[in-house]
Amino acid sequence: MQELQLAAAIIDVARDLARTVPPPRGAPYFCLDSDAPYDLDVLRIFCERGIFRKYEFALDLGSGLGGRARWLAARSGCRILGVDSRPRVVAAAALLNRRVHMDDQVTFQVGQLECLPLRPRVFTHVWLVDVPDPAQLVAMCSEAYRVLRPGGHFALQCAASSPAVGANWVTALTEVGFVSLEVCAVELAELSPPCRLARDRLAVWSQGAARETTMRPAPAVQIFATRPA
């Protein structure tokens, strides 16, 4: 299904389901606009790093259809820019954004994560979740460092596929200059029942194969760092 067609189907399914089931906080599309097969509540700690006010400006790397950016914006109250390398995905994310009237708080832009089309020292926070291309690890860390303001916060989450995952990220972040690194193990929980129901309905609506809507709790790693002031 093309991205704009998928966005239209997400809008229809969410609108229909919301007549009987309220959407989760910060997820007006019942997480259909997120590829994550887990409950986004695991990201709540991202909103606890630093002081969040409406003038804070966060960057969400690899933002996809924008579900995570909208969820984090609703939880943190700050402005968020989502960057993704796929133009049609960015167009679909913008469409979904307009339908829930979040253009004043969340915007999207096309860009390569290892070479961001952004000025240095712009953001107070940079978030990277479910790393899209581990081969670009050092380049993505360098770009995150470049666009952060001094004293800004960096946070990432990735699957704990091996014990070396956290160590590799710590090494990469240290090499580009980040300090105050902290590594936390977390468990990824399954989606809430309303979100699982929404995914089942989207599969029927789009006449596509049903996506997996349940998962066993899975281990992940969250890593936090700051750019020196």
Overall average pLDDT of the 58-69 stretch = 96
CA distance 150 to 50: 13
Written as one letter, the residue type at 210 is: A
The neighbouring-strand residues paired with 183 are 223
Is-contact 208 174, C-beta < 8 A? no
Give me the torsion for CA of 200, 201, 207, 208, rounded to 10°.
-30
pLDDT tens column, 172-219: 899 999 999 999 999 999 999 999 999 999 988 776 544 555 566 688
CATH at 131? 3.40.50.150
pLDDT at 205: 75
Q: What is the mean pLDDT of the chain?
A: 90
**96: containing domain:** 3-226
**Which is nearest to 95 in space by CA: 161, 34, 33, 168?**
33
The length of the chain in residues reads 229
DSSP string, 76-133: H-SEEEEEES-HHHHHHHHHHHHHTT-TTTEEEEE-BTTB-SS-SS-EEEEEEES-S-
Tens digit of pLDDT for each residue in 93-102?
999 999 999 9
| Percentage above 90 pLDDT, the chain | 72
Q: φ, ψ for residue 140 (rounded to 5)?
A: -65, -40
Sequence-ordered alpha helix ranges (H) in the chain: 3-17, 67-76, 87-99, 137-147, 164-175, 193-205
Q: Which of 100-109, 148-157, 200-209 is predicted with the least confidence, judged by mean pLDDT? A: 200-209
Number of separate domains in the chain: 1
